[in-house]
Chain A
């Protein structure tokens, strides 16, 4: 597939002319590896023993310092996890202070905190805002108590909705909600009913994830033992399509496979998650905390997926990096295709050409034409993107383009 040998390492992709004068601002990610209880479906890295939070905070500040000014500018901060809302507002404030000290953050920086409704009250939310958080992403997951119980969540639907309302009341004007659908037994009408209630709340952003059985999780064990029967693929597919259809009609525009942003007439506010878009657009980001991932200058690296190893390395004055990889040209292309297709903007073929010094069509014809004919992708002014139907078969489309 490759036509030319890659240029010398370090500058594997050619930044576009615009980008080299004004480098894309970076995103900063803080992984908070603590949860009150572990949800059986989750395979994110976190521990339930929270006694190490003070040590973690200290180590994190040390880690920030190690990468001081590694990026010229950052315009997002994202506290993810785990459950960042197990941190006291004071601890969040300390970390934000560290971030400000080590990086030059833009004035309009988007500062998101993920919140588990089971860990906060109204006062805490107010205090987070006070500390400098500008955006909340609440792990509501469902507004059906039975589903929440099945998911092993530590909160009720009411607590979830209350949390959302408190967020508004204490002045957050940018609030996103996470939902999980496709739980066993769920029907299209039940899911649409849930979405209807959620839309009533008018969140700025929605992330809707299908329940995925991740290998090695307690949920996977249950499936293996026949205690849980995952949804039929047919039904899961219908729910997936129904989600985008339903939300698009109610003012939530899908901009990524699982992400939707509210649009309102006469209002040009972009409510897409600025931080998450970094991941999909090849923008630089630095991740801090155990299991956090970073991407800069075509290099990806990741921290130890173990709090102990993370703390030990920092105690010894070392960076807690578990692995690094420099992307080859072919790998960059692969990611570019995959990430591009996840977004409704699709693959920018002009950007492709300038990054890889190669014509998109040369590389991917005649498969693109076949996919066009099958109605899985469409061409739109210099872009190739999935059709509504194609979205449901993302992996298949990528698989075909890449082989």
Chain B
């Protein structure tokens, strides 16, 4: 066990975690140069397309240290985006140490701080690494200064690196061995293993990712999940080295996987403890704190007969995304679906994309909402995150909405722009302070509902990418809440409704009507689109009827060209939902979420 090191790489988004992982993987030679590709641990299509990490990934690297011994380094690459913090915190729970990466030109940012605090909560040993020193704009002295001032770490321990150019990799590997403690645990004690992730393999059932705290596990063992007492016979254990590499056994301190013919997806729960059936440990590990969703939205299949498929897909996705929370829901317009809680809007998008890609579904998501508290006239308090359940407003005494405390770090020249943005979003500036030279930390209290949409994108754009942002929920405050409905040809479409502050209603309704007009395909009749609060119409637009819809020419013998167009249209139609007489494309449901006119 002395020859094992378990560590995560943590950082603000884009500071180079996955790239550093690449270099460490290459130096351990577990993969041939021919099979290697950049950010190899970002294996999902969405990760590669967006260039960000969404899932934590473990990889076991053999390393021959300068002391002559060989070590197994279990590296976990983590995501940097706030929406995936739950991935980071679970990764940290199976480690003894962490590499905290800081971009040499960007310096310490909001998630650098947030992730450092997370690691400290787990009592991890931290090695700061200043990355991207190859950049012309790298300012190592400034970053060292920040490490000391902002992070309270010893700047002299920071390793200088360029993951891109492979500078400092050996120093980092050596520091991992020397500075990080080996795991503790008793290989002979009863088995106690923490499930921190899992995924579904269509051929082999659930693959459990776990960290062995005590004991030893071998194939053939009978194991038990402690939360539900489900038992299985182990078929295979092993470690991740880009691909799964089977091992004879895994023992205390190790990180790896287990396959045990688990077909019942719901048996496996993240945070659960795996033990031996015959010789169980006395007490389960404490597991993880539940993820706290902040954004809620309902998911419906476009094809109403796809609900069964959606159930299965949700279960399987949940295996691989422990932060996803859902329950059954139904809508007059869209039929059966699920009400889901997400950690943010990017998380919501990722869930939708993964369901669509990995499970071949076509989905509609309703307008995201935060969770409100309603004080009713009769003294009762109701918690609601679903516009469909909004009660008759005359029975509501008042409503409260969640507020966050947002910490925004920017170069001070953007102070005015950020102030303006936050005030537009009903924010209150609490204070600001200079961190190191010309870097300002501004603290705002903001309604969460104003932040979930495009706040982060706007912040990034007004600060030319320099602004970073982190937040925590603080409390609920009174608000003037209304329910905004949309009517298509007089028919209210429940899935388009949203809860919103009265001051924003008219503007949002107007933009949404315009967007809907662009998205709804024209038909043989006029389509009226209206935004309404109660019986009060506050915005409207019209999709005019076809006057003509015929192509004059049929391009000689080129029938293929026309047919391909028809095929494309037909595919598009599959993504539409009939509401009354009107075809609503999936994009219409997204359109109402847009806050900008562009």
Chain A positions near chain B (C-beta within 8 angstroms): 29, 80, 209-210, 212, 232-234, 236-237, 240, 257-258, 278-280, 285, 287, 292-295, 300, 302, 325, 331, 334-335, 338-339, 342, 374, 376, 391-396, 398-399, 402-403
The 8 Å CB contact of A279, one of B524, B546, B556, B573, is: B556
Nearest CB of B to A10, in Å = 19
CB distance from A387 to the nearest CB of B (A): 13
User: Within B546-598, which residues are at the interface with A (CB < 8 Å)?
Assistant: 546-554, 556-560, 562-563, 566-567, 569-570, 573-574
User: Contact at B547–A339, with CB atoms within 8 Å?
Assistant: no
The residues of A that contact B552 with a CB separation of less than 8 Å are: 209-210, 212, 257-258
Contacts A295-B557, A339-B554, A402-B570 known; 19 new A-B pairs at CB < 8 A: A80-B556, A209-B553, A210-B552, A212-B551, A233-B548, A236-B548, A240-B550, A287-B557, A293-B556, A293-B557, A331-B567, A334-B567, A335-B563, A342-B554, A392-B550, A393-B546, A396-B549, A399-B569, A403-B574
Minimal beta-carbon separation of A358 from chain B (angstroms): 18
Q: Are B554 and A395 in contact (CB under 8 A)?
A: no
Contact A300 B560 (CB under 8 A): yes
A-B contact pairs, 21 of them (CB 8 A): A29-B556, A212-B551, A233-B548, A234-B548, A237-B547, A240-B548, A240-B550, A279-B557, A279-B559, A300-B559, A302-B560, A334-B566, A338-B562, A339-B559, A392-B550, A394-B549, A396-B546, A398-B566, A402-B566, A402-B569, A403-B574
Contact of B550 among A279, A280, A391 (CB under 8 A): A391
Tell whether, in the assembled complex, residue B557 and residue A395 are in contact, meaning their CB atoms are under 8 Å apart: no
CA distance A337 to B550 in the complex (A): 15
Residues A394 and B547 in contact, CB atoms below 8 Å apart: no
Q: Which of B529-555 contact A (CB under 8 A)?
A: 546-554
Report, nearest first, the 10 A-B pairs whose CB atoms are least far apart: A237-B548, A293-B557, A403-B573, A237-B547, A394-B550, A233-B547, A210-B552, A234-B547, A209-B552, A396-B549
Q: With A and B bound together, what is the CA distance between A13 and B590 in angstroms?
A: 42
Q: Are B556 and A338 in contact (CB under 8 A)?
A: no
Q: Which residues of A contact B570 (CB under 8 A)?
A: 399, 402-403
Nearest-CB distance from B523 to chain A (Å)?
A: 8
**Shortest distance between the CB of A205 and any CB in chain B (Å):** 16
Q: Which residue of A lies closest to B572 (CB)?
A: A403
Give Cα A285 to B556, complex, Å: 11
Instruction: Please determine whether A279 and B554 come into contact, CB atoms closer than 8 angstroms.
Output: yes
Which residues from A are CB-within-8-Å of B560? 293, 300, 302, 325
Q: Tell me the smallest distance from the CB of B420 to a CB of chain A, in Å.
A: 35
Known contacts A209-B552, A257-B552, A396-B524; decide if A285 and B557 are in contact (CB<8 Å). yes
**Nearest CB on A from B520, distance (A):** 14
Q: Which residues of B contact A399 (CB under 8 A)?
A: 566, 569-570, 573
Provided the pairs A338-B563, A396-B549 are in contact, do residues A280 and B557 lie with their beta carbons within 8 angstroms?
Answer: no
Q: Is the CB of A334 within 8 A of B554?
A: no
Report chain B residues within 8 Å CB of A232: 547
Minimal beta-carbon separation of B362 from chain A (angstroms): 13
Q: Which residues of B contact A240 (CB under 8 A)?
A: 548, 550
Least Cβ distance of A99 to chain B in Å?
A: 16
Residue of B nearest to A214 (CB): B553
A236–B547 CB distance below 8 A: yes
Chain A positions within 8 Å of B566 at CB level? 334, 338, 398-399, 402
Point out the residues of chain B lying under 8 angstroms from A210, CB to CB.
552
Q: Interface on B for A, CB 8 Å cutoff?
A: 523-524, 546-554, 556-560, 562-563, 566-567, 569-570, 573-574
* A394 contacts B559, C-beta separation under 8 Å: no
Smallest CB separation, B572 vs chain A (Å) = 9
User: Is there contact, CB below 8 Å, between A335 and B559?
Assistant: yes
Partner of A293, one of B523, B550, B558, B569: B558
Which residues does chain A contribute within 8 Å of B548, judged by CB atoms?
233-234, 236-237, 240, 392-393
Which chain B residue has the least Cβ–Cβ distance from A241? Answer: B548
Q: Which residues from chain B contact A234 at a C-beta distance below 8 Å?
A: 547-548
A129 to B550, CA, bound (A): 36
Cα distance A80–B548 when bound, in Å?
A: 29
Which residue, of B557, B558, B570, B574, has the highest number of chain A Cβ atoms within 10 A? Answer: B557
A210 to B554, CA, bound (A): 12
The residue of chain B having its C-beta at the shortest distance from the C-beta of A233 within the complex is: B547
Give the Cβ gap from B253 to chain A, nearest Cβ, in Å: 55
With A398-B566, A402-B566, A403-B570 in contact, is A257–B550 under 8 Å at CB?
A: yes
Find chain A residues with CB under 8 A from B558 CB. Answer: 293, 302
Q: Which of A29, A279, A374, A395 has the most CB of B within 10 A?
A: A395
Chain A residue contacts of B551, Cβ below 8 A: 212, 257, 394-395
* Whole-angstrom distance between the Cβ of B565 and the nearest chain A Cβ: 9
**Which residues of chain A are near B574, meaning CB under 8 Å?**
403
| Min C-beta distance of B547 to chain A, whole Å | 4
Q: In this complex, what residue of B is CB-closest to A324?
A: B560
Residues of B within 8 A of A338 (CB): 562-563, 566
Considering only CB atoms, which chain A residue lies closest to B522 in the complex? A396
Docked pose: A325 CA to B546 CA in angstroms: 34
Asked if residues B559 and A393 are in contact (CB atoms below 8 Å), the reply is no
| A294-B557 contact, Cβ under 8 Å, with A393-B524, A402-B566 | yes
Return chain A residues, CB-CB under 8 Å to B549: 392-396
CB distance from B596 to the nearest CB of A (A): 24
How far apart are the CA atoms of A318 and B310 in the complex, in Å?
51
Report the separation of the CA atoms of residues A280 and B554 in the bound assembly, to the nearest whole angstrom: 9
Report the minimum CB–CB distance from B584 to chain A (whole Å): 14
Query: Within the complex, what minimum Cβ distance (angstroms) separates A191 from chain B?
Result: 14
Using Cβ atoms and an 8 Å threshold, which residues of chain A touch B567? 331, 334
Contacts of A325 in B (CB 8 A): 560
* Residues from chain B with Cβ under 8 Å of A376 in the complex: 524
Cα distance, A276 to B562, chains bound together (Å): 16
- Cβ-neighbour of A212 out of B547, B553, B557, B562 (below 8 A): B553
Residues of B within 8 A of A334 (CB): 563, 566-567
Q: How far does the alpha carbon of A292 sit from the alpha carbon of B556 in the complex, in Å? A: 9
| Interchain CA distance A232-B523 in the complex, whole Å | 17
CA distance A29 to B247 in the complex (A): 67
CA distance A219 to B341 in the complex (A): 51
Q: Is the CB of B550 within 8 A of A393?
A: yes
Alpha-carbon distance between A335 and B546 when the two chains are bound, in angstroms:
23
Query: Smallest Cβ distance from B171 to chain A, in angstroms?
Result: 56
Cβ–Cβ contact B557 & A292, under 8 A: yes
B545 to chain A, nearest CB (A): 10
The chain B residue sitting closest to A80, CB to CB, is: B556
| Inter-chain contact B559/A293, CB cutoff 8 Å | yes
Chain A hits for B547, CB < 8 A: 232-234, 236-237
The residue in chain A whose Cβ has the minimal distance to the Cβ of B566 is A334
Min CB distance, A352 to chain B, in Å? 17
Q: For residue B388, give the distance in angstroms from its CB to the closest CB of chain A.
A: 28
Residue in B547, B552, B558, B574 whose Cβ sees the most chain A Cβ within 10 Å: B552
- With a cutoff of 8 Å between Cβ atoms, the chain A residues found around residue B562 in the complex are 338
Cα distance A136–B554 when bound, in Å?
20
User: Which of A236, A287, A293 is most buried by chain B, counting CB atoms within 10 A of its CB?
Assistant: A293
Question: Could you say which residues of chain A place their CB within 8 Å of the CB of B554?
Answer: 257, 279-280, 339, 342
A302 to B556 alpha-carbon distance, docked (Å): 12
- Complex interface: chain B residues within 8 A of A335 (CB): 559, 563
Docked CA distance A205–B165 (Å): 73
Residue of B546, B548, B560 contacting most chain A CB atoms (<10 Å): B548
Determine the distance from Cα of A376 to Cα of B547 in the docked complex, in whole angstroms: 13
B557–A374 touching, CB < 8 Å: no
For residue B559, give the distance in angstroms from its CB to the closest CB of chain A: 6
Looking at the assembled complex, report how far the CB atom of B401 sits from the nearest CB atom of chain A, in whole angstroms: 42
